[in-house]
A and B are shown apart, each in its own frame.
Chain A
Amino acid sequence: MSNQQKHWEKTRGLLFITLAIWFVFSIGIFLFGAEMNEVTGPFGYPWTYWFTCQGSLGAFVILIFWFANRQEKIDEEFGFSEREDE
């Protein structure tokens, strides 16, 4: 397998992990919205309510930065990172 193929393999792996986490926060939680809302969550808000207001939104922000850093590491590993002056 060429260098480029390996790079793409890893990139695709990262995509699947990212989408799996995305799925949990955007869809997974809300499959059980009614049940989870009975429980008191962070800062005293009901769990599901808190996720729709802040939790999922914040998780997405963190997820994108985490993804960007991981992808940069993968690019560096295979020598595909951009030079700053490009």
Chain B
Amino acid sequence: MKGNFIDNLPKVYGIYTGGFIGFIIIMAIAEQMGMTAKAIGIAFVAFTVFIYALIGWLSRTAQADAYYVAGRQVPTVFNGMATAADWMSGASFVAMAGGIYFKGYGYMALLVGWTGGYVLVASLLAPYLRKFGCYTVPDFIGTRYGGNLARFSAVVVLTVASFTYVTAQINATGTIASVALDIPFQYAVYVGLISILLCSMLGGMRGVTWTQVAQYIVLIIAYLLPVFWISNKMGAGFFPHFMLADEVARIGELEQQFGFVKNAAADLKSVPKGLAGITKAHSAVNATPWAFISLALAMMMGTASLPHVMMRYFTTPSVKAARKSVGWSLFFIFLLYSSAPMLATLSKLSLIDPNLPTGIIGKTFAEVEAIDWYQNWNQANLMFISDFNGNGTLELNEFFMGGKAVVLATPEIAGLPYVISGLVAAGGMAAAMSTADGLILAIANAISHDVYYKIIDPKAETAKRLLVARVLLVVIGFAGATIAAMEIQGILGSVIWAFDFAMSGLFFPLVLGVWWKRANRQGAIAGMLGGLIAGAWYLVWVRTGGSGFLGITQLTFGIFGSAVSLVLMVVVSLMTAEPDKATQKMVDDVRVPSGKSILGRSH
């Protein structure tokens, strides 16, 4: 190919996408010829992980600005795809449709929160941080407010938030690897970790960028293809997003007909851990306005404070490109998020509608237990039925399912070939890997650049800096995997906590750093540490039986943390001296898109 790599990107990824579709077709043919389900699962995961590792190796680099910010030459649309993959975690891919399936409207606050946050990113932060020219988020805090303590506080908040998040992602790669490769979870976690490190270790941000684009393509195909296929197969409409109104209404009708019968506590004890029944209305408003809004708001402010997302906008060629790139990111995220409720609708209707051949409610227990897919997923511990009232017929309140089953099992229930299940496994793996990569890199870069280079050894040579960065990457990865192997918290819980931690400590110090010239070092430090401590205290308090206040739960504790952070930051800033002239000039320069960045190209 002629010309440089950047100009050839559309061609390179076009060929890649074609190749991947070709691979799906080959697998489909192999299935017809008798390839086993297990072999197909292994082939999908192994093939895609091999491609990512290859991209990671091809992107190896020895330059600081390529390692930290991919040389600042990632085009808008591709950065959008990379951000979307960075953003959509194993939780978005595997657990989101399941959450909507079980909890309906109240849960969908997450959809609004995880997209609306990008408006804040685009308007309040991304273009200004790009103009600043920093390598990491603490780099901005450290330079804007000055001093090692401010920089170090930002590293602390970043590490707490990202580490909470990354264990969940390594856990997800482990879960998928253990199912697809049929190995125990304790080992699968490390298989997942090695795959993750292969993408990021040699090329840093450059390697992660180009693997994330590749991972986005895999995960979006793996999510959308089954949704469209199932919808068509069920006769629900060829474009589900615009055509499922009747199905949504039908679910409402069935809910009325069956009613939500409350199970006795003694009966529920027999249900395996992690499985749930349908107890909430599908499309009706089932949460108070504040419950919905507080969750959405916490996720939006968390989005704007999570460093692994913010640092993706440091890689664009210009400030203008950073703004547009946020729009593209959200567009690519929208494609998946707007499909999740459709998948939940299709999945639920296909299971509960007695008029459909796949419907199991109203069938006898003997009939349901004879179904192949029921046996498979019951064995995988994701489905369970029990005849509580002893009438021999399955009722709505007697059917239990794991949240992951909505994405993982629906293709099989709808009678799609196994090749689709293999594809879904590869998609889930891509989603979890890409997010884990972004997070581990964010932590390792912050420690290597901000703590090691800026605070401990400012004279270190590039080769030594990058060596430290890579060693940290491996250490943090292994620490994350070790904690993930202990399986402390479910995938989704820890993801939401990460948002709350990030917003508690970083939202206001970042935003006010650009929008309030009077904000100074003392205020920022008080805001970061005070916010983080207040948020963490609230979480511990509620977890240990505290009643909480103002309806703030353990999922939205960031609202309390960030409020404390804002008050402390404003009060302490006003009580201490205003920033010096040089800092004020720096803020003025950040607000103008043209001209040189504040920090040099290589710093």
| Chain A contacts to B: CB under 8 angstroms | 4, 7-8, 11, 14-15, 18-19, 22, 25-27, 30-34, 37, 43-46, 48-49, 52-54, 56-58, 60-61, 63-65, 67-68, 71-72, 75, 79-84, 86
Contact = CB atoms under 8 A, between A and B. Distances in A.
In the complex, the 5 A-B pairs of residues with the closest C-beta atoms, listed nearest first: A44-B245, A64-B327, A26-B116, A52-B108, A68-B323
Nearest to A41: B245
Nearest to A31: B289
B181 interface: no
Contacts of B124: 15
B141 interface: no
11 contacts: A19-B119, A19-B123, A22-B119, A22-B120, A46-B248, A53-B342, A57-B334, A57-B337, A64-B326, A67-B119, A81-B320
Nearest to B592: A80
A14 B123 CA distance: 9
Given A14-B123, A68-B323, 13 more contacts: A25-B116, A31-B293, A34-B289, A37-B285, A49-B105, A56-B112, A57-B337, A60-B115, A60-B116, A67-B122, A67-B123, A80-B593, A82-B320
Contacts of B320: 68, 72, 75, 81-82
A83 B593 CA distance: 10
B253 interface: no
B292 interface: yes
Contacts of B118: 60, 64
Contacts of A48: 105, 285
Contacts of B249: 44
Contacts of B296: 26-27, 30
B282 to A, nearest CB: 9
Contact of A45 (B123, B248, B292): B248
A82 B243 CA distance: 44
B330 interface: yes
Contacts of B111: 52-53, 57
Q: Please report whether the interface of chain A is mostly helix, strand, loop or mixed according to DSSP.
A: helix
Interface string B329-361: 011001001100110000000000000000000
A30 B292 contact: yes
A81 B131 CA distance: 12
Contacts of A22: 116, 119-120, 123
B279 interface: no
B241 A54 contact: yes
B338 A54 contact: yes
Interface centre among B127, B284, B593 (most CB of A within 10 A): B593
A65 B222 CA distance: 27
A22 B118 CA distance: 10
A78 to B, nearest CB: 9
A49 B331 CA distance: 20
Nearest to B127: A71
Contact of A43 (B116, B245, B283, B293): B245
A48 B326 CA distance: 26
Contact of A52 (B105, B289, B300, B594): B105
Contacts of B327: 61, 64-65, 68
Interface centre among B112, B113, B245, B334 (most CB of A within 10 A): B112
Interface centre among A8, A15, A26 (most CB of B within 10 A): A26
B319 interface: yes
A53 to B, nearest CB: 4
A27 B108 contact: no
Nearest to B131: A82
Interface centre among A11, A14, A56, A64 (most CB of B within 10 A): A64
Contacts of B285: 33-34, 37, 48
Interface string B237-248: 000011111101
B591 interface: yes
B403 to A, nearest CB: 18
B588 interface: yes
